[in-house]
């Protein structure tokens, strides 16, 4: 028996209309931020979304949080079509799905104390008597490794790691099933990153949480994610189990991203043979023809400038692996 995935994203497109220019020469363009993305997330899974800045990761997260109405595609949660939820269903969904963002300083109101910040979801959703809120907040802080004496502190009086723990405590207040962690550790020092990742990991195990873990840094994703999707310019170019994907990346973009991760050894860094990906990420307003990666791809062929590669299963490279590159994908074994 296979369980229905907790989250099912199918053919998601998010095109933002934008206008630029002056009063008389206004041009109307479309930013294709997300361009046909599909993936599932199993219950209890940590699913990673990686790729350079601007490739559409946050937009996908915002669509899942119902902060953005997709141009097309479907999003299912526990098998139910999120985009067709009525008001009541949406309110219930907003309790089940929470977010932890990158910069805890900017996402936390500087004039609110820790007690107010972590207790706010209780007030907004009216799920516990006002008098009980301080005790509930104290519990949440303790779960997130913070002492109760921080209750009346303000965000600027805490370290980056403490603030991120406060953000996590707040996200946990309504006992969610699913948390979108958007660059949740990207602004932190490496040692603090490791602590927050291990906190997220133990919370997942303890409360049966499911995460969408968004990061531009592959080395972070590697440690926490079960499966990873690599994005480039609004599309998934490769997807698979984290360990096998990092050990044997197939897509030239995944390979380039992996090669760009610095190693701690300065000697290795000095002799690094690879030059990080050449050129700039093209504009999502005017994406290249064919494979969107072809202008930067070291192994592009003539056909790559014309044919849009499908994301196809490459089971010989590992369970659940799919890749959108006809050049590096293993030839399917004839049935």
Ligand X SMILES: Nc1ncnc2c1ncn2[C@@H]1O[C@H](COP(=O)(O)OP(=O)(O)O)[C@@H](O)[C@H]1O
Q: Identify which of residues 41 and 117 has a Cβ nearer to ligand X in the complex.
A: 41
What is the number of the residue whose Cβ is closest to Mg ion? 58
Q: Residues touching ligand X: how many (CB under 6 A)?
A: 13
Q: Give, as ranges, the residues between 12 and 51 that touch ligand X (CB under 6 A).
A: 16, 18, 31, 33, 51
Contacts within 8 Å (CB) and 24+ apart, 253-256? 253/277, 253/293, 253/296, 253/297, 254/230, 256/296, 256/298
Q: Identify which of residues 142 and 286 has a Cβ nearer to ligand X in the complex.
A: 286
Q: Identify which of residues 173 and 179 has a Cβ nearer to ligand X in the complex.
A: 179
Contact code string over 47-66 relative to Mg ion, x by CB under 5 A = -----------x--------
Contact code string over 146-175 relative to ligand X, x by CB under 6 A = ------------------------------
Q: Identify which of residues 53 and 271 has a Cβ nearer to ligand X in the complex.
A: 53
CB of 75 to Mg ion, least distance (A): 18
57 is a site residue for ligand X (CB under 6 A): yes
- Checking DSSP bridges between strand 235-241 and strand 312-313, what pairing results, if any? unpaired
Q: How far apart are CA 203 and CA 17, in angstroms?
A: 39
Residue 172 burial class via C-beta count within 10 angstroms: exposed 0-12, middle 13-18, buried 19 and up: buried
> Out of ligand X, Mg ion, none, which partner does residue 104 contact, by CB within 5 to 8 A per kind?
none
Q: How far apart are CA 10 and CA 184, in angstroms?
A: 25
Tell me the three state secondary structure of residue 104: helix
54 is a site residue for ligand X (CB under 6 A): yes
Q: How far apart are CA 41 and CA 211, in angstroms?
A: 8
Residue in this structure with the two tokens 């504009």, named with its chain if needed: 283
Q: How far apart are CA 172 and CA 278, in angstroms?
A: 41
Q: Identify which of residues 122 and 253 has a Cβ nearer to ligand X in the complex.
A: 253
CB of 41 to ligand X, least distance (A): 18
Rounded (5°) CA angle 125-131-137: 65
> Out of ligand X, Mg ion, none, which partner does residue 33 contact, by CB within 5 to 8 A per kind?
ligand X
Which residues of the chain form contacts with ligand X (CB under 6 A)? 16, 18, 31, 33, 51, 53-59, 284
């Amino acid at each position: 028996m296979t369980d229905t995935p907790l989250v099912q994203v199918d053919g998601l497109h998010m095109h933002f209309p934008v206008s630029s220019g002056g009063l008389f020469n206004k041009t109307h363009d479309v930013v294709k931020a997300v361009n046909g993305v599909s993936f599932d997330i199993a219950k209890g899974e940590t699913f990673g979304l990686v790729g350079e800045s601007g490739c559409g990761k946050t937009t996908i997260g915002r669509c899942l949080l119902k902060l953005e109405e997709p141009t097309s595609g479907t999003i299912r949660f526990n098998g139910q079509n999120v985009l067709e939820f009525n008001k009541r269903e949406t309110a219930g969904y907003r309790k089940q799905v929470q977010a932890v963002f990158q910069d805890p300083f900017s996402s936390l109101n500087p004039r609110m104390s820790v007690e107010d910040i972590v207790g706010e979801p209780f007030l907004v959703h009216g799920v516990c008597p006002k008098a009980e809120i301080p005790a509930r907040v104290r519990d949440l802080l303790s779960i997130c490794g913070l002492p109760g004496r921080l209750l009346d502190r303000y965000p600027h009086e805490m370290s980056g790691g403490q603030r991120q723990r406060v953000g996590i405590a707040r996200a946990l207040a309504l006992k969610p099933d699913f948390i979108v962690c958007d660059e949740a550790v990207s602004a932190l020092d490496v040692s603090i990153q490791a602590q927050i990742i291990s906190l997220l990991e133990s919370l997942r195990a303890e409360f049966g949480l499911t995460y969408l873990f968004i990061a531009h840094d592959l080395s972070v994703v590697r440690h926490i994610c079960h499966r990873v999707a690599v994005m480039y310019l609004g599309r998934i170019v490769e997807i698979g189990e984290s360990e096998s994907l990092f050990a044997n990346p197939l897509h030239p973009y995944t390979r380039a991203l992996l090669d760009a991760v610095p190693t701690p050894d300065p000697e290795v860094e000095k002799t690094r043979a690879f030059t990080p990906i050449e050129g700039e990420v093209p504009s999502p307003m005017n994406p290249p023809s064919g494979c969107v990666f072809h202008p930067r791809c070291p192994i592009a062929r003539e056909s790559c400038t014309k044919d849009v590669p499908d994301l196809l299963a490459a089971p010989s490279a590992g369970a659940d692996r799919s890749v959108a590159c006809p050049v590096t994908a293993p030839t399917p074994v004839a049935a």
